[in-house]
Amino acid sequence: MNVLVVGGAGYIGSHCVRQALAAGHAVAVLDNLSYGHAESVPAGVPLFSADMGDQAAVRAALRSHRTDLVIDFAALTNVGESVQQPERYHDNNVVRTVGLLQAMLAEGVKKLVFSSTCATYGIPEKMPMTEDLPQKPINPYGVTKLVTEHRLTELAGTHGLSFAAFRYFNAAGASSDGAIGEDHAPETHLIPLAIAAALGRRPPLKVFGTDYPTPDGTCLRDYVHVDDLSRAHLDVIPLLNQPGQAFFYNLGTGTPYSVKDVIASVGRVLGRPVPHQFAERREGDPPALYADASKVRRELGWIPRYDTLDSIVLTACNWHLARPKGFAT
Ligand SMILES: NC(=O)c1ccc[n+]([C@@H]2O[C@H](COP(=O)([O-])OP(=O)(O)OC[C@H]3O[C@@H](n4cnc5c(N)ncnc54)[C@H](O)[C@@H]3O)[C@@H](O)[C@H]2O)c1
């Protein structure tokens, strides 16, 4: 298929681009490069440097690539920042995404795979998390994704849009060949922060909260390798053949790991300890977030190939060791 990957110069998008190429799709990328890296887009893949809210530019890109399907990763993703700047998050993640959808419909492109998040659930009522849990996001970032999910559902009914929305847990790791990996500025994710602390590139890691009702007192999260996560976006494509289909999947491995588990794993893989210090809990951090991944496993046959924390951390360490300054080097 001819696939346009919006946000394809970002962390997850760039991994998906490579997987889509390997699967035989014709791929182009549209990204405003606000956070993405042009260097992460493989040679030969057209890069439309444009904002997804720019109707004319998006329509031109859709046409010139003769697009069959859009995979949309474009968003602002920093939860803390969304609390400080809710309007900016609403504008980018909702208004501009709606602009992208309008451009798609105007060009007759009615298949979409969308990046949503487990943050749409807020503080879940039960664990592991199934797709039918109430969605009550507790920060503006989660709200923007939930509002967009609702808009997609409306468009499935009114315009025959067929879409799958994946609610990711914690994307982690890097490509197995070390060519691309996570390069966020500022970095807020635990595994790259732990690696940077171990390598002396950052101050000691802060562990927020040691008195949670979890086995070791630190928060539990579900880390899913970025290549496994990306692959699900391609696995779902055959389901989008009928118009007006709407699919929602939690995308995590279902295995929870604590902050202390991550510190131990990075220490094992790098062969040096992660300097860290304990701090008070952060407001809004649920004690545990991990997926019941049975729906995506059952319906898409999706099985994570990276099934241990160490295997995920190893790819991240290789990337950070090889590229101390990320794409800047
Ligand atoms: N990283 C995670 O653990 C995680 C977890 C849950 C959900 N998600 C979602 O997955 C998606 C990708 O996350 P990521 O970690 O790769 O983020 P990222 O910041 O690395 O990638 C996002 C990309 O979108 C681009 N972009 C942003 N706004 C745009 C716009 N208006 N027009 C065009 N391009 C725009 C950025 O330049 C960037 O390249 C996001 O939608 C995010 O909300 C990520």
State pTM to two decimals: 0.97
Query: For residue 97, which atom of ligand 1 is closest to its CA?
Result: 31
Instruction: Indicate the average pLDDT of the chain.
Output: 97
pLDDT band at residue 328, thresholds of 50, 70 and 90? confident
* pLDDT score of 131 more than 70: yes
Matching residue, tokens 């970095």: 187
Task: For the domain made up of 2-172+223-251, give the CATH fold.
Answer: Rossmann fold (3.40.50)
The DSSP annotation for 262-300 comes to HHHHHHHHHTS---EEEEPPPTT--SB--B-THHHHHHH
Structure tokens at 295: 């729906």
User: What distance in angstroms lies between residue 48's CA and the mean position of ligand 1's atoms?
Assistant: 16
Mean pLDDT across the stretch 203-207?
97
Averaged pLDDT, 42-63: 98
- CA–centroid distance, 8 to ligand 1, in Å, is 8
pLDDT of residue 17: 98
Query: Is 286:219 a contact under the CB 8 Å cutoff?
Result: yes
Kindly give the distance from the C-alpha atom of residue 100 to the centroid of ligand 1, in angstroms, as a whole number: 15
Domain ranges of the chain: 2-172+223-251, 190-222+254-328
Is 187 buried (19+), middle (13-18) or exposed (0-12) by CB count in 10 A?
middle
Residues with CB under 6 A from ligand 1: 7, 9-13, 31-36, 51-53, 73-75, 77, 92, 96, 115, 117, 168, 170-171, 184
Q: What is the mean pLDDT of residues 194-222?
A: 97
Residue 289, number of CB atoms within 10 A of its CB: 22
Whole-number percent of the chain with pLDDT over 70: 100
| pLDDT at residue 20, rounded to an integer | 98
For the domain bounded by 190-222+254-328, which CATH number is listed? Answer: 3.90.25.10
Residue type, 149: E
Q: What b/e readout covers 15-36, taking b as 16+ CB neighbours within 10 angstroms? A: bbbbbbeeeebbbbbbbbeebb
